Amino acid sequence: MNIIDTSSGNSSMHKSCGSIKNIPLFKTKEIQYHIDIHKFENIIFQSMSSAAFFNELESLKNKNVFSMGKSTQDYLSKQGVKSVCPSIPGSEELKKLLSKNKKSGNYLIVKGENGLSEISNYLNSSNEYVEEINCYKRFKLESYENVRNEFYDADAIIFPSTYAFKIFFEEIYSTKVKAKLFGISKRIIDYISSYDLDSDFIDYFSKDITESIKDSI
């Protein structure tokens, strides 16, 4: 079985192992930012890339740190930073987690350029002090010609972001694609549905993700 994971190189949990092949559809690049980390008691990372491009990880020892998903949590853990994350990645689940773990103090949200402001809006509506910083940006590859056939031959394609699916639809998708599509959150599945395509939810952090996909096909 040929399974493609479209995560960026920074965030893939399944880097080309076994029947899963990692084919990123975009690249990431650092953005310079300025922030006084001492102003904030609570830090939220919206993606693994936001953690990878954040330059103040050593200053987070006594902070309350939240991650959008397990890949971000695992990355931070390897850097010596403890964080909590929802069992299912996504803004809705993170909002529930924040509601159950109310902390005093200011919030800093670390994200990518043009990233979602859903968490920021939620905290603002709760009268919390919130600031956002963009520490990276995403951009399309120069060409997708050399990967199209791999997608045409795939049995399953995993989309950990709406941006990856958008690029896939614009640059690769055609009637030659026979693969079953999978999203790792409800938001991604709903986004795929807006293009009149079907997809299923997949637990991206399952140890048996290959078996889960086989069972769904």
pLDDT over 60 at 155, yes or no: yes
State the pLDDT at residue 26.
96
State the pLDDT at residue 10.
55
Average pLDDT, the chain: 92
Please check whether residues 13 and 97 belong to one and the same domain: no
| 3-state helix vs strand vs coil in the chain, percent to 5 | 30, 20, 45
Please check whether residues 36 and 76 belong to one and the same domain: yes
Domain's final residue, options 138, 157, 185: 138
Q: What would the pLDDT profile of 165-213 be if each residue is shown by its tens digit?
A: 999 999 999 999 999 999 998 889 999 999 999 999 998 877 788 888 9
Please check whether residues 49 and 33 belong to one and the same domain: yes
Q: What percent of the chain has pLDDT over 90?
A: 76
Please check whether residues 33 and 115 belong to one and the same domain: yes
Please check whether residues 114 and 152 belong to one and the same domain: no
Domain's final residue, options 88, 106, 138: 138
State the pLDDT at residue 185.
87
State the pLDDT at residue 150.
97
Please check whether residues 110 and 150 belong to one and the same domain: no
Which SS3 state, helix, strand or coil, does residue 150 take? helix
pLDDT over 80 at 16, yes or no: no
Please check whether residues 82 and 147 belong to one and the same domain: no
Please check whether residues 11 and 99 belong to one and the same domain: no
The total of structural domains in the chain comes to: 2
Q: What would the pLDDT profile of 29-46 be if each residue is shown by its tens digit?
A: 999 999 999 999 999 999
Domain's final residue, options 85, 112, 138: 138
Q: What would the pLDDT profile of 89-142 be if each residue is shown by its tens digit?
A: 888 899 999 998 888 899 999 999 998 899 999 999 999 999 999 999 999 999
Please check whether residues 68 and 150 belong to one and the same domain: no
Radius of gyration of the chain (CA): 18
Please check whether residues 177 and 193 belong to one and the same domain: yes
Please check whether residues 106 and 200 belong to one and the same domain: no
State the pLDDT at residue 217.
83
The CATH number that applies at residue 120 is: 3.40.50.10090
Domain range enclosing 106: 29-138
The residues, any chain, with a CB within 8 Å of residue 212's CB and separated by 6 or more, are 202, 203, 206
Q: Within 13 Å of residue 12, how many CA atoms lie on the same side as its CB? A: 21
Of 137, 110, 112, which is closest to residue 29 (Cα–Cα)? 137
